[in-house]
Amino acid sequence: MSRLPKHFILIALALTLAACGNLPRGAAIQSEITKGADTPEADFAVYPVTKAFLSSVKEWPSTGERKYGWLQHSTGSNAQIIRPGDTLNVVIWDSAENSLLMGPGARSTNLSGVRVSESGNIFVPYVGKVHVSGRTPDSARELLQRQLETVSPGAQVQLNALEGRTNSIDVVSGVRSPGNIKMPDQNFSVLAAISAAGGVNNSMVNPQVQLIRGQKTYRTSLSKLFDNPKLDTRLSGGDRIIVEADPRYFLSLGATGSESQFTFNRDTVSALDALSIIGGVNDSRANPQGVLILREYPASALASGQRGPRQQRVVFTIDLTTSDGLFSARNFNINPGDLVLATESPVTNVRTIFGLIGSAFGVINNI
């Protein structure tokens, strides 16, 4: 047998191997993923990401994350307000001889560590219960002094308040010094509390601030609090603050720079942002016309009367070789849980075939 027929045999074997789909590769070809999308029995839909499509998809339901509200900023009193659980230190001065409030030869008496009861009262000898909750320390001092005038007209009162649990908040985690923080006044805000707790840990990616008030939870990002002072919510006693890294993520597979799970490094991540985060696409393997975003919508997204996809499973296609594709990718937002898939270029199979042929010729020449 001559050498030429052997070469033809090897070429035929390589082409047969390619036709059978047994060539080694790291990702699917776009046509393999989107095959059958136009048939009636298809359980997924395909949408090219273009300028004309962007206005429509923005009205579709979001996926992959629970929506939390947030409280707007409001203005409170700059003064300290006494609450149940606070501790008052009271000093009563009286220069009158034989005062009921003083011991022999004394000119003052101390009532230290007087705790404000759940009903908002304190007990003062010869006066009885005095309701001080909701008052400023100065207002409570004036009230107590008026009450004492019936016992000793010349008495003077000095009062100091120490905040208790109902006048404090807890910064639980995500800061340098977590713990209980006393509220100095009624204008104490979320950012003030985070600052008092030492600030957010530097290693945290896109910090998220969670405010728990009673049985309700509110959530926003730290960057939004920085950018919009109207979101710097005024705190109430008993509030809890949790700062944590953004839990949202997306996946990348195929002919990408890196196949992994990636967290959101900002509030909104576009398709181009995602490609940058994952290290782009592989220059020698990827099909720049076949970058796919795979997303699954809940069944409620298909309800009549609202804008949404035709199927729960959706494949968005992005063409990075056109200006419309690039601009549209920059304005197409990635949802948590999305899969960014860079499909394999058909040219890769051709290169593999020629590589096999070249190897075969080398084997033959050695023989």
pLDDT of residue 356: 46
Cβ(283)–Cβ(343) under 8 Å? no
pLDDT band, residue 5 (cuts 50/70/90): low
Q: What is the SS3 assignment for 12-50?
A: HHHHHHHHCCCCCCCCCCHHHHHCCCCCCCCCEEEEECC
67: Cβ–Cβ under 8 A, 6 or more apart, which residues? none
In terms of residue numbers, what domain contains 340? 30-64+248-344
Q: How far does Cα 237 stand from its chain's mean position?
A: 24
What's the CA gap between 11 and 353, in Å, rounded? 8
Domain boundary, last residue among 181, 211, 244 = 244
**Per-residue model confidence (pLDDT) at position 337:** 96
CA distances from 186 to 82, 119, 190, 310 (A): 11, 20, 12, 51
Please give the pLDDT value at position 312: 95
Distance separating alpha carbons of residues 332 and 112, to the nearest angstrom? 64
Domain count for the chain: 3
Predicted pLDDT of residue 175: 96
If you average pLDDT over residues 60-71, what whole number do you get?
90
10 pLDDT tier (thresholds 50, 70, 90)? low
Q: Which of 191, 249, 243 is nearest to 212 (CA)?
A: 243
Q: Global pTM?
A: 0.74
| Residue after which a domain boundary falls, among 222, 244, 266 | 244
Minimum mean pLDDT range among 138-142, 231-235, 351-355: 351-355
Residue 358 lies in a domain: no
Render pLDDT for 147-200 as a digit per residue (tens, 0 to 9): 988 888 888 899 998 888 888 999 999 999 999 999 988 889 999 999 999 999
Q: What integer is the mean pLDDT of 238-261?
A: 94
CA-closest candidate to residue 260, choices 333, 317, 343, 340: 340
Burial of 296 (0-12, 13-18, 19+ CB in 10 A): middle
Q: What is the pLDDT of residue 367?
A: 46
CA–CA distance, 247 with 259 (Å, rounded to integer): 19
Question: What percentage of the chain has pLDDT greater than the value 70?
Answer: 86
- Tell me if 362 is assigned to some domain: no
Same domain, 205 and 120: no
Residue 13 maps to a domain: no
| Radius of gyration for the alpha carbons in the chain, expressed in angstroms and rounded | 35
Tell me whether strands 249-254 and 339-344 are parallel, antiparallel or unpaired. parallel
